[in-house]
Amino acid sequence: MSKYLVIASPSIGGAERRFFDIFKSMIKNKEDIYLVAPSLLLQKLDNNYKLNEKIISIELTRWSYVLFCFKFYLGVVCKSSKGDTFHYPLNPPFFLHYFPVRKYSISYCYCYAKPKISLKSIGLSLQRIAGVFASRVDVLSPAVYDEIKTSDKKFSLTPGGSFVDATDFNTNGKKNDVAIISRLEHGKGIDTYIRIVGMLKSAELDLELPLPKFRIYGEGSMKSWVEKEVSHLSNKGVEITYHGFATPQQILSESGVVFSLQTTTNYPSRVVVESLLSGSQVIVLNSGDTQEFGQTVGLHYLNEDLSNLVEVFNAVSIEKMLPGLKKDISELAKAKFYSPSYLEYYKRVMA
């Protein structure tokens, strides 16, 4: 009896990377599980995916959900055994499971709204319908889980939020710069970061240490605006640069402080977890249910109105000089976000 983890998405984001890490960790634990995903995504997740017999690539030259479903149905579902199970983190094609009948479970990975029928979001619509017939429904966001308010035992809350393969990260590097790693879109925090850099420049005399270098990583529709703002701040004497896309490992070897500034919620942001695993300190905007991260070494909460910005930034500046701090941050993050109990939970969901 095999498990199939199916990621019906062409682009790489937090959910795609989280479930790829879950797959890798389950393989290490000798689980009988296969990863199914479009070649467009696998090329970004793993350069050697073609050499892994546990990865089933759906070959596509351009993204088409309909074509993905067609190839997936003929190549995987129709050839599966009766006892096999399927799990869908995103865009679940529930309509493929009636002939042949196959058991499936899903995850609600959206943190900003509960699944509903919506012409504006195919993903939310698919999850809403698929949830009716799924054997188990895993819900990532505590706020969404509370909103569902159901006594149905097939719904469960993801324990501990995010999961990251800690073996991919280490505390090596200079750890001097301040960075934001974000999609350059409204609501993702890039405009708040630009504002924060300007505020810190204005409050320079109140800071415990000189202003560090500021970096911006990410792509999106606000790229041109970001480049203009970076130029404007540079002209004011701020050391700030825009770098586009880079791997988290590359970024976090240089960044001692990372901002996560999403306006809806920053829980359970993968950027936060990866930064902590790398021994970097994290400043999070205290929006939505961000407090679900709790109190942990290296994590600092920023008021939504930014009223405690200087206080928090000074605290971070002083703390980062403490001996052994990077290791302490990383070890505590491993215990919380790389736990065997997380994998046991998903084994039950996918059973």
- Regarding whether 101 and 18 lie in a shared domain, the answer is yes
Average pLDDT over residues 66-84: 98
Which CATH number fits the domain that encloses residue 44?
A: 3.40.50.2000
What one-character DSSP code corresponds to residue 171? S
The rounded distance, in Å, linking the Cα atoms of 70 and 90 is 17
Task: Kindly report, residue by residue over 2-47, the tens digit of the pLDDT.
Answer: 999 999 999 888 899 999 999 999 999 999 999 999 999 999 898 8
Structural domain that includes position 49: 3-158
Distance of alpha carbon 83 from alpha carbon 70, whole angstroms: 22
Do 310 and 241 lie in one domain? The reply is yes
Is residue 164 included in any domain, yes or no? no
Would you call 257 helix, strand, or coil by DSSP? Answer: strand
Whether 153 and 184 share a structural domain: no
- Rounded to the nearest 5°, which phi and psi values hold at 43? -60, -30
- Provide the pLDDT for residue 97: 96
Q: Determine the average pLDDT of the residues in 170-181.
A: 88
Domains of the chain: total: 2
Residue 171 lies in a domain: no
349 occurs within a structural domain:
no
Q: Is the distance from CB of 135 to CB of 104 less than 8 angstroms?
A: yes
**Length of the chain counted residue by residue:** 351
Q: Are 280 and 236 contained in the same domain?
A: yes
Of 161, 158, 113, 116, nearest to 137 by C-alpha is 158
Question: Using an 8 Å Cβ cutoff, are 112 and 265 in contact?
Answer: yes
Question: Is a pLDDT exceeding 90 seen at residue 153?
Answer: no
- Alpha-carbon Rg for the chain, nearest whole angstrom, is 21
Question: Quick check: 304 and 288 in contact, CB under 8 A?
Answer: no
Question: Strand runs (DSSP E) across the chain, as ranges?
Answer: 3-7, 33-38, 55-58, 85-90, 103-108, 137-139, 155-157, 177-181, 214-217, 240-242, 255-260, 281-285, 299-302
Q: What's this model's pTM, rounded to 2 decimal places?
A: 0.88
pLDDT given at position 70? 98
198 and 330 share one domain: yes
pLDDT in tens, 274-315: 999 999 999 999 999 999 999 999 999 999 999 999 999 999
| Domain identity same for 233 and 125 | no
Same domain, 112 and 216: no
106 contacts 134 by C-beta, under 8 angstroms: yes
Q: Residue 156: pLDDT above 90?
A: yes
| Residue 112 and residue 7 share a domain | yes
**Cα–Cα distance, 240 to 236 (Å, whole number):** 10
- What is the spatial distance between Cα 90 and Cα 126, in angstroms, rounded to a whole number? 9
The mean pLDDT of the chain is: 93
The reply to whether 224 and 306 lie within a common domain is: yes
Q: What is the DSSP letter of 158?
A: P
Considering the chain, what percentage of its residues have pLDDT values greater than 90? 80
Task: Mark whether 148 and 188 lie in a shared domain.
Answer: no
Write the single-letter amino acid at 79.
K
| pLDDT greater than 80 at residue 104 | yes
Longest dimension (CA), the chain: 69
Both 205 and 330 in one domain: the answer is: yes
